[in-house]
A and B are shown apart, each in its own frame.
Chain A
């Protein structure tokens, strides 16, 4: 089938970009979306033009690198999948396909569809860890964890840090990501000692990075490839507010690049 692509092209962080139209004349419905772009890029390279830059790594929905907004929806039209898991059979012959990078002040565009997501790393550095001495592993049953808690924690831990939640939110809020990271540790016994500090520090870092404020529209949940529940955002609100009001933690943040 044939597609008409409209792709955001931007030379580097400083330049202003624009949407550029390309024809994709030989699209096989069996291809993944990234394979379709690979073919378009081969053509571009053959013609001596710069290929379209995009992030990708695992190509099986686990690394969270691939990131593009397709016809206004982060990760494209199919639910609960990443761009690399999206297949061209979801498109129709002759369709116009608009491809844009994640749009957020906290995710500056580096080139074309590639954005700098290090703001997420700094949110993790601010508190998304537990401090324990490493060494030989404990006996598995030393720390009992209820099955329901373990499952709930795993649901949050499924977040791959792709940033689609930010891209989908009209406010570029990072609340679903931060909530997932705060909750998966907060639901386990190992996460308890630092639970209050974690909530305060990670929210503080999130605000510092310039992400917006949640309006409870739940667009994030609708596009999240791991279908992380917005219930975790309510949980983060509880953790953050109770920590702010009832604990002595004042919070510290990790440094921003600029």
Chain B
């Protein structure tokens, strides 16, 4: 297994892990949004979806553990690569001009760390319902009520909306970038690949934000 260690220790191998785990999380995020949008179908639709998920039992745990492993590997390798990058330039330039790098690509670590904070809050809030006794008192499958009660508070709705735009920013670079990391860069598809990240980023940010926004404006109650 020496080769495996050598590969994961290498620059290109480390990047591969960040890309593959990032891609897996993108898959999760897309599925998660599709499920969440059922809230627009009314309490019945989203609550029975939530109940169905909980009833998956063992399968749900496989998915949860899988996600935890993906997120952990992503964070550990992203931070490890980032530390090595910092060490590779001990003396900064007095003047530095960027010619190409996008704003999103330059803020990956920042948006990533903000997402980590968001994910921890989100789990405490909706999965463990540890942030308010009001939510903890709701029925197990009353997801609809939980969403409405939470997002009627502008502070919480705002936090979710901002976080979803940070997710969009992270993915606007990340998704296009992972093609390159996985070795796919063909002149014929270069523009397409370059657009996928920003397109998906905006789509996900708007999709997720539509829920807190709808509650805030009284469309869902």
Total CB contacts across the A-B interface at under 8 A: 138
Kindly identify which residue among A98, A213, A244 contacts B95, using a CB–CB cutoff of 8 Å: A98
Kindly identify which residue among A72, A171, A206, A237 contacts B89, using a CB–CB cutoff of 8 Å: A171
Q: Which residues of chain B are within 8 angstroms of A233 by Cβ–Cβ distance?
A: 180, 185
User: Nearest Cβ in chain A — how far from B93, in angstroms?
Assistant: 6
User: Nearest Cβ in chain B — how far from A5, in angstroms?
Assistant: 12
Contact between chains at A244 and B105 (CB < 8 Å): no
Q: How many residues of B contact A (CB 8 A)?
A: 46
Contact between chains at A245 and B7 (CB < 8 Å): yes
Contact between chains at A104 and B89 (CB < 8 Å): yes
Binds B, one of A28-36, A138-146, A215-223: A215-223
| Complex: A204 Cα to B25 Cα, angstroms | 29
A173 sits at the interface (CB 8 A): yes
9 shortest interchain CB distances as A-B pairs: A72-B97, A238-B183, A234-B185, A212-B88, A171-B85, A217-B101, A172-B88, A222-B99, A212-B85
Q: List 21 A-B contacts (CB under 8 A).
A: A8-B94, A72-B93, A100-B93, A172-B88, A212-B85, A213-B14, A214-B11, A215-B108, A218-B101, A219-B101, A222-B100, A231-B185, A231-B187, A234-B184, A235-B183, A236-B12, A238-B183, A240-B13, A241-B183, A244-B7, A250-B2
Q: Given A103-B89, A103-B91, A241-B12, do A234 and B105 touch, yes or no (CB 8 Å)? A: no
A120 sits at the interface (CB 8 A): no
Chain B residues proximal to chain A, CB less than 8 Å: 2-3, 6-7, 9-16, 81, 84-85, 87-102, 105-106, 108, 173, 176-177, 179-187
A3 sits at the interface (CB 8 A): no
A211 sits at the interface (CB 8 A): yes
Contact between chains at B99 and A211 (CB < 8 Å): no
Docked complex: A184-207 residues within 8 A CB-CB of B: 203-204, 206-207
Contact between chains at B181 and A172 (CB < 8 Å): no
Contact between chains at B93 and A250 (CB < 8 Å): no
Q: Which residues of chain B are within 8 angstroms of A244 by Cβ–Cβ distance?
A: 3, 6-7, 10, 13
A66 sits at the interface (CB 8 A): no
Contact between chains at A206 and B11 (CB < 8 Å): yes
User: Nearest Cβ in chain A — how far from B203, in angstroms?
Assistant: 21
User: Nearest Cβ in chain B — how far from A189, in angstroms?
Assistant: 22
Q: Which residues of chain B are within 8 angstroms of A69 by Cβ–Cβ distance?
A: 93, 95
Kindly identify which residue among A204, A210, A213 contacts B15, using a CB–CB cutoff of 8 Å: A213
